[in-house]
């Protein structure tokens, strides 16, 4: 009887604590946290693999090693990922605080969307996706985007809004298809991004361009309009390379996929 009462009280406590977490301020644990402490799985050192990915030493890879799917999932849904994002955001904010604004409204920061301002972890946690261990399915991912329910990455949202308060203008530049303009704008607003100078998505004129070429093109257009890109935040190296990448670039972690 005592054991039953304990279990009931424990369940109530868990539900209460879970309900207290705001959708916009946490990335919820969607899967059991197993195996994170063991990085060497079937001959693949998953921690070293992730480091090679983040430093761009491992390029043009297609899938997360199957044996590292659990490791990547637990990383993306765990505290370490959030801590790593915070380190990036803190470094960016420290840099921004030392800049002298010109006052003409042309000093801008560029932000990506997927795995930068918004997290797709709820989607990648699904069994038919498995945190990048299975091939990318454009149809399924677009269905997820159309839901408009992606949560914010808390550290990036904090950085984004602090930059606004400091007087910078933020431009959101994404490879998302332009047909999702309204849903992405609504999702960003719901997740706590309330102000931007431009929201630029990929249109028909950008078809066939690589991510580097597309983002270089759009950033160059901004510069030609008189904007100065003082900072650039993205999860892919293709967000941060190419023409007019910005005076400083900041990469948030993403070991789930690689975009050239």
| One pLDDT digit (tens) per residue for the chain, 260 residues | 444 433 333 333 333 333 333 333 333 333 334 444 445 545 579 999 999 999 999 999 999 998 899 999 999 999 999 999 999 999 999 999 999 999 999 999 999 999 999 999 999 998 788 899 889 999 999 999 999 999 999 999 999 999 999 999 999 999 999 999 999 999 999 999 989 999 999 999 999 999 999 999 999 999 999 999 999 999 999 999 999 999 999 999 999 999 99
Domain count, the chain: 1
Question: Is 133 part of a structural domain of the chain?
Answer: no
Range of the domain at 160: 82-117+152-253
Which SS3 state, helix, strand or coil, does residue 169 take?
A: strand
Which SS3 state, helix, strand or coil, does residue 107 take?
A: strand
6's tokens: 């304990």
Which SS3 state, helix, strand or coil, does residue 71 take?
A: helix
Question: Is 206 part of a structural domain of the chain?
Answer: yes
Per the CB < 8 A criterion, the answer to whether 191 and 151 are in contact is yes
In whole angstroms, give the CA distance from residue 46 to residue 64.
Answer: 10
Length of the chain: 260
Question: Is 77 part of a structural domain of the chain?
Answer: no
CATH code of 248's domain = 3.40.50.1000
Which SS3 state, helix, strand or coil, does residue 33 take?
A: coil
pTM, entire model: 0.85
pLDDT score at 42:
55
In whole angstroms, give the CA distance from residue 133 to residue 192.
Answer: 30
In whole angstroms, give the CA distance from residue 189 to residue 241.
Answer: 28
Which SS3 state, helix, strand or coil, does residue 99 take?
A: coil
Which SS3 state, helix, strand or coil, does residue 100 take?
A: coil
Q: What is the pLDDT of residues 97-139, one digit of tens each?
A: 999 999 999 999 999 999 999 999 999 998 788 899 889 999 9
Per the CB < 8 A criterion, the answer to whether 131 and 125 are in contact is yes
Q: What is the pLDDT of residues 41-61, one digit of tens each?
A: 455 799 999 999 999 999 999
Per the CB < 8 A criterion, the answer to whether 92 and 250 are in contact is yes
Which residues pair with residue 172 across a beta bridge?
111, 199
Q: Quote the Cα angle for 115-218-190, to 5°.
A: 40
Phi-psi region of 52 (alpha: psi -120 to 50; beta: other; left: phi over 0): alpha
pLDDT score at 128:
82
């Amino acid at each position: 009887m005592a054991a039953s009462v304990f279990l009931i009280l424990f369940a109530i406590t868990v539900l209460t604590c879970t309900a207290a977490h705001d959708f916009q301020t946490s990335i919820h644990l969607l899967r059991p946290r197993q195996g994170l402490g063991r990085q060497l799985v079937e001959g693949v050192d998953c921690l070293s693999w992730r480091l090679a990915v983040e430093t761009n030493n491992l390029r043009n890879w297609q899938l997360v090693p199957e044996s590292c799917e659990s490791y990547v999932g637990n990383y993306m849904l765990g505290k370490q990922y959030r801590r790593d994002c915070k380190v990036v955001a803190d470094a960016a904010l420290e840099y921004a605080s030392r800049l002298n604004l010109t006052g003409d409204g042309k000093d801008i920061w560029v932000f990506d969307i997927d795995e930068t301002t918004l997290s797709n972890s709820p989607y990648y946690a699904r069994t038919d996706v498995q945190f990048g261990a299975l091939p990318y399915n454009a149809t399924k991912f677009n269905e997820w985007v159309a839901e408009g329910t992606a949560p914010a990455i808390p550290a990036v949202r904090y950085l984004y809004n602090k930059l606004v308060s400091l007087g910078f203008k933020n431009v959101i530049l994404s490879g998302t298809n332009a047909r999702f303009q309204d849903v992405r704008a609504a999702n960003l607003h719901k997740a706590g991004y309330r102000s931007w100078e431009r929201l630029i998505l990929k249109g028909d004129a950008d078809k066939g361009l690589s991510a580097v070429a597309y983002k270089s093109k759009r950033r160059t257009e901004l510069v030609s309009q008189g904007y100065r890109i003082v900072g650039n935040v993205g999860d892919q190296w293709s967000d941060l390379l190419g023409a007019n990448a910005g005076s400083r670039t900041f990469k948030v972690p993403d070991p789930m996929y690689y975009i050239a």
